[in-house]
Amino acid sequence: MNPIQSVLITGANAGLGREAARQLALRNGIEKIYLACRNLEKAEAAKTALEAETGKRIFEIIIMDVSDLSSVREAVAGMKSAVDAVILNAGGTGGRRPNALTNAGVTNIFAANILGHVVLVDELLERQLITSTVLYAGSEAARGIPKMGVAKPDMQSLSAEEFAAIADGSKFGQDADPLDVYSYIKLVGAHWMGAMARQHPHIRFVTMSPGGTTGTNGMDDLPFLKKVFFKYIGGTLMPIFGMMHSVETGARRYVDGLLNEKFESGHFYASREGSPTGPVIDQAEIDFTLANPDFQDNANQAVHRFAA
């Protein structure tokens, strides 16, 4: 693998994305970090703060809304040079209408977490603007976290049709809880990355969960009571019981997954079974279906139905 000198991070103005940018800037050899954000004002504030915190002037803003495929394509078309790596960090619970459909025919929550990133990676590959590594933000929710009340996704066939039903929301209905849907979406993402690794062996595709992380903004659009619990009450109590760790620890997983070659292409790394924190392992050790190439190809086929 070629040394990574430049990195593009989606959702880079706050939370895990911003912290990953800070940590990477302090690593030897990193010469350029692109902050891909949808809001210019917030991006500029993050850039100014990162420069002050790191003493580095290596940050560049790219305006990109991963929920909007035209925004993604315009952003890539405007890139003047290739990047070595990309961290697909943006996501969350899909805004105030997570189950509403976008123009692409997928739900808002699916667009934010997967489809925009699918198009981003496809565009980078087609234009030969990515040279080394793609890292996707996975989640332990994809295989369930019983201690946190997160059930394992109930998949019947893992067919392309079932994955497509996750994308357009027909598997759940309009009143589905976005936290439940989120686990299915992250499962689709892990399978998609596995398929991409086999299709593009010259690029390293790693799915890495940041783990249960306090201080993120991914829960901001949840209903009030759930937001209060997960972001404030849970964020205080869960670390005590080992169910959450700091944003610094979560972002460090990204950085390790990006720079440490022991994390293999096509694999999904997250915490050990039963926990969203602690050392990471290959999740195929917990759920062997994650390494099934047929299921991976089904997921890849399904997401690309909506990427045109």
Residue 14 pLDDT = 95
| Tally of helices (H runs) and strands (E runs) in the chain | 11, 8
Q: What is the pLDDT of residue 146?
A: 81
What span, in angstroms and rounded, lies between the C-alpha atoms of 246 and 125? Answer: 33
C-alpha closest to that of 145 among 292, 275, 2, 15: 275
How high is the pLDDT of residue 148?
75
Give the pLDDT score at 224: 54
| 246: helix, strand or coil | coil
Q: What fold, for 6-305? A: Rossmann fold (3.40.50)
Q: Can you give the pLDDT at residue 122?
A: 98
What's residue 120's pLDDT? Answer: 98
- CB proximity list for 289: less than 8 A, separation 6 or greater: 158, 295
Which tokens sit at 89? Answer: 């960090």
* Domain boundaries of the chain, sorted by first residue: 6-305
Beta bridge pairs of residue 281: 270
pLDDT at 223: 56
Helix (H) or strand (E) holding 74: helix 69-77
pLDDT tens over the chain, length 308 residues: 678 999 999 999 999 999 999 999 999 999 999 999 999 999 999 999 999 999 999 999 999 999 999 999 999 999 999 999 999 999 988 888 999 999 999 999 999 999 999 999 999 999 999 999 999 999 999 999 887 778 899 999 999 999 999 999 999 988 898 889 999 999 999 999 999 999 999 999 999 999 988 755 555 555 555 555 455 555 555 555 566 899 999 999 999 999 999 999 999 999 999 889 999 999 999 999 999 999 999 999 999 999 98
Report the SS3 class of residue 239: helix
Q: What is the pLDDT of residue 220?
A: 57
User: HEC profile for 249-302?
Assistant: HHHHHHHHHHHCCCCCCCCEEEECCCCCCCCEEEHHHCCHHHHCHHHHHHHHHH
The whole-angstrom separation of Cα 130 and Cα 6 is: 10
